Amino acid sequence: MNAAPESLQSVVDLVFAGISQVREAFTPQLKSRETGKILSVSTGIARVSGLPGVGFEELVRFPGDVFGIAFNIDEDDVGVVLLGEYTHLNAGDEVQRTGRVMDVPVGDEVLGRVIDPLGQPLDGGRALSATERLPIERAAVPIMDRAPVTVPLQTGLKVVDALIPIGRGQRELILGDRQTGKTAIAIDTILNQRGRNVLCVYCAIGQRASALAKTVAVLREKGAMDYTVVVVTEGNAPPGLSYIAPYAATSIAEHFMESGRDVLIVYDDLTQHARAYREISLLLRRPPGREAFPGDIFYIHSRLLERATHLCAERGGGSLTAIPVIETEAQNISAYIPTNLISITDGQIYLSPALFELGVLPAVDVAKSVSRVGGKAQRGAYRAVAGDLKLAYAQFEELESFARFGARLDDGTRKVVEHGRRIRACLKQQESEPVSTPSQIAVLLALGEKLFDSVPLDRMAEAERTVREAAKEIPKEMCLRFETEKTLGGEDRKAIVELVRAALSPFQPKPEPDAKP
């Protein structure tokens, strides 16, 4: 009868003995935790006291898992840029140091995803579980670890690939007034990287939600999301998120570059980024400069774009090509932010509102556009067929204004004008329809040989499409030579000319019948 109580007592003794043993072995680990309090909260900014050890750009945590970056470290308080919804924060709330800087998840897992600069998914998919993270602010690659730009980045746009070429590792600016097709050029360039082993990062800064949804829908429809990461901040996001967005996107791209991949990154657009930084700086009571921008506005863009480069073979040979977008006002390319970006980048593509209104799409103003590096990376076949095209187009634009006045033109001038009109017609291109390299070379060679000059102007679009269709018959061996040879061989040139002549024969004007006596 007493066996059960005795066994229960032995179990209790064993449990107490185990607890005593664990208690004796336990050594309390005391960790200091530095906390502060919110002094005030304004639009996207908080002033905090009580964090004497906080470092510059250190991440701090607010109630509700809202994070911020320590930006102004003053003697009495710390100015913090908030990175999330801050309407629930109040003066007196507790703030904690995290001991780390802002970082972002990187790796193949982010491909095909739409995320915000904090790494949180916005596409309704599962949360990212990437094990590797990189700080958003990283030092640019040292100059001795860089290699020359030697490989072209094909955009699929005839006017760009022929006249303003871009190389892998280059920084090419796109600028123009609002609603002139800047984003369309960037998206078409991303679409053209399909099958070219180039990964893409599209960074949308402060854009309307409807415009972002349209862009992502186009990328999904064309199958570009398989190799693209979209980093998004909407127009109603806190200015701090818009500020860190391009840096976070660049860290994602750098991870691929450092693994030996070729990467294209589009910043759309840095005007919104500059305005977000201006808003943050003014709220932090930093002294304003020209156009109320802070004095270091040039530095925030230069340290961002200097991270784009072509790595040397010892570092893996990867490349990061940057295409920043800037919005001008009233065609003023000499404004503060545009001139800053023009001086930082390796060339610019300027979009003209006048050409846009005339229906010349893409509305690239060839005279004001330049590529300071890409010409060295341009394929030999392009240089052979488009070498004199820019000069002929520039001469046409100069003479076109005289032709509008109805001035009498001699035969030579009239031929230059008519040839230029055909160049402009051939450089037109529909949105989301990249043109392959063989088709571009066939069209450009036909322009160089003036085979389009006898085609009526109202049939130029049809004739150009016919030439592109005919170019599909070019043998694969010849197409391979376009990619590898330093120039266009004489036999290849002759074969393409004959192919184009045959394609254009239906568009030649019919000879008028002899008049009856």
Q: How many helices (H) and strands (E) does the chain have?
A: 17, 16
DSSP 387-456: TTHHHHHHHHHHHHHHHHTT----HHHHHHHHHHHHHHHHH---TT----HHHHHHHHHHHHTTTTTTS-
What ranges in 164-308 are assigned the alpha helix state H?
182-191, 209-221, 239-258, 270-283, 297-305
Query: Can you tell me the distance from the alpha carbon of 492 to that of 472, in angstroms, rounded to the nearest whole number?
Result: 15
Q: Which 3 state secondary structure label does DSSP give 111?
A: coil
| Residues 6+ away with beta carbon under 8 Å from 347 | 164, 166, 170, 172, 173, 369, 370, 371, 372, 373, 374
Query: Can you tell me the distance from the alpha carbon of 391 to that of 397, in angstroms, rounded to the nearest whole number?
Result: 10
| Residues 6+ away with beta carbon under 8 Å from 482 | 379, 381, 437, 438, 441, 488
Tokens of 91: 């003066």
Query: Can you tell me the distance from the alpha carbon of 480 to that of 174, in angstroms, rounded to the nearest whole number?
Result: 30
Q: Which 3 state secondary structure label does DSSP give 79?
A: strand
Would you call 363 exposed, middle or buried from its count of C-beta atoms within 10 A (0-12, 13-18, 19+)? buried
Candidates 247, 234, 203; CA nearest to 57 is 247
Query: Can you tell me the distance from the alpha carbon of 219 to that of 188, in angstroms, rounded to the nearest whole number?
Result: 10
The total of other beta-carbon atoms located within 10 Å of residue 294's CB is: 20
DSSP H/E element including 40: strand 35-42
Query: Can you tell me the distance from the alpha carbon of 295 to that of 272, in angstroms, rounded to the nearest whole number?
Result: 17
Q: Tell me, yes or no, if 372 is annotated catalytic.
A: yes
Which one is catalytic: 61, 220, 286, 372? Answer: 372
Asked if residues 174 and 349 have their Cβ atoms less than 8 Å apart, the reply is yes
Task: Answer whether the bond into residue 116 is a cis peptide, omega within 30°.
Answer: no
Residues designated as active site:
372
